[in-house]
Structure 1
Amino acid sequence: MKYHPLKLLQEMTILFAEDDPIMQDSIARILSTHFRHVLVAEDGAQAMELFNQQRPHIILLDIAMPRASGMEVATAIRQQDPDIPIIILTAHNESEHLFAAIRLRLMEYLVKPVSLDKLRSTFLHCVTELQQRGRIAVQLQSGATYNVNTQSVEWDGKEISLTRNEKSFLDFMLRHRNQVVDADRICFHIDPNHDMTNSGLRNLVYRLRSKIGNKSIVRACP
């Protein structure tokens, strides 16, 4: 299943953090023409809050911000998600930050002012990377295909209806492929208010297997 990068970009959510109100407004307007949703943060702490709450597809961070710099936010995000594309904006081309960018595997380290063409090409490169890392469409063991952007599943030519919790579960597990994740952490991701119990998680997995095949979820709970 192939998707055009530009169309995929228009379905995505980007998190943009910039403390300068004029620059923030200007770049946010540009982003709104490329992405379905633009999450705007005024400082590093708010950027982390939005990341944890909304789980965007791409991150764009100004390097100099109050309450956590762009590099500090990038470091915290990278600890949670090893693959999400992160782009840093800076007014200066400083070597120490460039070395940090390499260690964090940042997608780009852009020096302001950035041209519209450069931004667009960077975003499309992000989409290509997401595709290659299986973050766009994932083929499940049962043969079903999960579209990460739309959080929808297609199986045998039909779109399978999923509940909010089922979408949240699939998204979390696919972002933590090849990792050991305990049931409590999964429950907290699905419902931070602690209403999801281990028993409720087992029922969710049972229902989801009946929808998209037993082989789609080999092991979700201890």
Structure 2
Amino acid sequence: MGDPNVLKQLRANLHTYPLLYVEDNRGLNAQATVLFKKFFDNVISGYDGEEGLALFEKHRPAIVITDINMPKMDGLKMSEAIHEIDPDVLIIITTAHDERDFLHQSIKIGVFDYLIKPLKIDNLIETFTRCSEMLVEAFHRKIFNANLHAVFNYQNNLVILLHERNVVIANQPTLDFFGVKNIEALRKRFQTFGEVLLEHKSFVYDHGTMKWFEHISAHPKRLFNVKIADQEEVSHHFILTYQSVPEKDGYAVLSLNDVTELGLLKLYDSNATERESLIKDEKTVRALLEMAMRSSAKMKVHNLYKGLSIVNDGIVESIEGKTVSIKSAYVQLKAMQYEKMFYLTSELFPMTILAEGIRQIDLGEQYVLFSQYRLVPTSPARRESIRVTPDNNIAVTMLYEERRFDAELEIMDVSISGMRVQLFSLPAGFAVKHSVILDIVLTTASRPIIINTTAEVFRIDEVNRRFEVVFVFNLHDEGKKGMIDYIAKRQMVLIREFKGIQYEK
């Protein structure tokens, strides 16, 4: 009789749907109706095709089970007539073994399934299970389609359906934005969407090195900055998303979120003086974070645990006053606990955001609250070489204008092409682009490696009354091999060290 739990669940899924059963054998009709009522509350019985069709028009059942050979109208003709009224009705044919020739015709009609007589409970359960799945899917599709028009037309975003780059459908906010009454008028204004994309630094538009459609269609999960003028020729800043339509070649949906009021256009395309002012403006950075929040944009969160790069996705969860909340991975939050800062990068941002002023890190809920942030020109994502903080197995001495510096000099980090050191004071006349001699000693298990190299002063920063100096150099042969080996081993130590920190409370 089948698994009672399966029968119970199947009845729970089907009992509200009416079932029409058409069978001219009255004894078989009565027996099968009793069986069907184990699954359906309402079973409607008919005894020939004409009666079955009339009952269908009156009750509009979701499922029809019918015999083939019946008086007045056979089951196949009845099924065909029913599908002309409602093509979504699930029709099940009951057939004897010698009636299989009718199956080809039933396939053309679009019959859902057929069952061999006499009916068996296991076969019924299998067929009714698939009916249940189809009905649930159809119900969900009906709800979706019923609400799609409202969502399409009454959300704030501009939504456009493209076919081969041409605009074929646009929602009401799009028509309002361009000041047109219908899609025909919109097509007269522009046929391809690329015509409305205006030039703006780092934004998407057609120019010498970029074809807008090729660019966005090659990156379907990314967000893009675009500038478009409205009906009054006022420029607006939008975040554009692109989504191809599955199984429909050439079709795509564009959605554009207007973020003009955040006032970020000047940040992307301004003169040097104005840009410098905007970079230092905390409100500008907060506007960038709000833009990311509105667009549900994934950012990359970067930390450098003693030079070891830790990178995970992050999203802006909320902004309240100056305080920003970002969700990210547990491992990223552990790195933040150590560094007390982190970097945020996104294809939407013109520069990297340095986040400081951490107020709270919640490892359970996986979020960080911070209230200090600024734009910085450098990005941890664009490091040309790996930099690590040193251990006791490396030392350096600097020779500048025949004076040696060693006791006053502390290594902050080192790479294959440079070194950052800290000094208590600078030699007289010491400046960027000056040359020095560095003697670097690497202690290994076998023997010390001494690297003597000329280096250039790349940058000088004053931090907490001390001076941080970045040197760049070009190592060769054994010196280069020794430095690569040192950095690789140091990395492995830091990886093990950080894994241990992850499990600390």
Task: Please indicate the TM-score interval, normalised by the length of the shorter structure.
Answer: 0.5 to 0.7
- Out of 74, 97, 109, the position equivalent to 1:69 is 74
What is the alpha-carbon root mean square deviation over aligned residues? 2.2
Offset, 1:134: 3.3
Residue 90 of structure 1 corresponds to 95
Distance 1:135 1:86, change over 3 A: farther
**Is 1:46 the equivalent of 2:51?**
yes
Q: Which has the higher strand share?
A: 2
Q: Which has the higher helix share?
A: 1
- Out of 142, 147, 150, the position equivalent to 1:141 is 147
Paired letter, 1:54: H
8 Å CA contact 2:22, 2:66 repeated in 1: yes
Residue 15 of structure 2 corresponds to 10
Structure 1: which 4+ aligned runs deviate by more than 6 Å? none
3-state DSSP class of the match of 1:138? helix
3-state DSSP class of the match of 2:44? strand
For residues 181-222 of structure 1, give each alpha carbon's deviation from its aligned partner in whole angstroms, at most 9, with x where no partner exists: xxxxxxxxxxxxxxxxxxxxxxxxxxxxxxxxxxxxxxxxxx
For residues 6-37 of structure 1, give each alpha carbon's deviation from its aligned partner in whole angstroms, at most 9, with x where no partner exists: 41201111000011111011100001111010
1: CA distance, partners of 2:59 / 2:99: 31
Task: Note the 1:109-128 alignment, pairs <5 A.
Answer: 109-128=114-133
Paired letter, 2:26: P
Percent sequence identity over aligned pairs: 30
The answer to which of 126-135 and 102-111 deviates more is 126-135
Offset, 1:78: 1.0
Residue 28 of structure 1 corresponds to 33
8 Å CA contact 1:60, 1:88 repeated in 2: yes
Q: Give the gaps of 5 or more residues in structure 2.
A: 1-8, 151-505
2: CA distance, partners of 1:54 / 1:42: 16
2: CA distance, partners of 1:82 / 1:135: 17
Task: Note the 1:167-186 alignment, pairs <5 A.
Answer: none
Distance 1:136 1:14, change over 3 A: farther
8 Å CA contact 1:6, 1:124 repeated in 2: no
3-state DSSP class of the match of 2:139? coil
User: TM-score, structure 1 length as denominator?
Assistant: 0.58
8 Å CA contact 2:93, 2:115 repeated in 1: yes
Paired letter, 1:141: N
Residue 62 of structure 2 corresponds to 57
8 Å CA contact 2:10, 2:39 repeated in 1: no
Query: What is the number of residues matched between the two proteins?
Result: 141
Residue 243 of structure 2 corresponds to none
Distance 1:90 1:135, change over 3 A: farther
Q: Give the gaps of 5 or more residues in structure 1.
A: 145-222
Higher Rg: 2
Distance 1:142 1:107, change over 3 A: closer
Residue 42 of structure 2 corresponds to 37
8 Å CA contact 1:5, 1:128 repeated in 2: no
Offset, 1:94: 3.4
Task: Tell me which of the two structures has the higher relative contact order, counting C-alpha pairs closer than 8 angstroms and 6 or more residues apart.
Answer: 1
1: CA distance, partners of 2:23 / 2:76: 13
Offset, 1:136: 8.0
1: CA distance, partners of 2:85 / 2:94: 21
For residues 83-105 of structure 1, give each alpha carbon's deviation from its aligned partner in whole angstroms, at most 9, with x where no partner exists: 11000011234343111121122
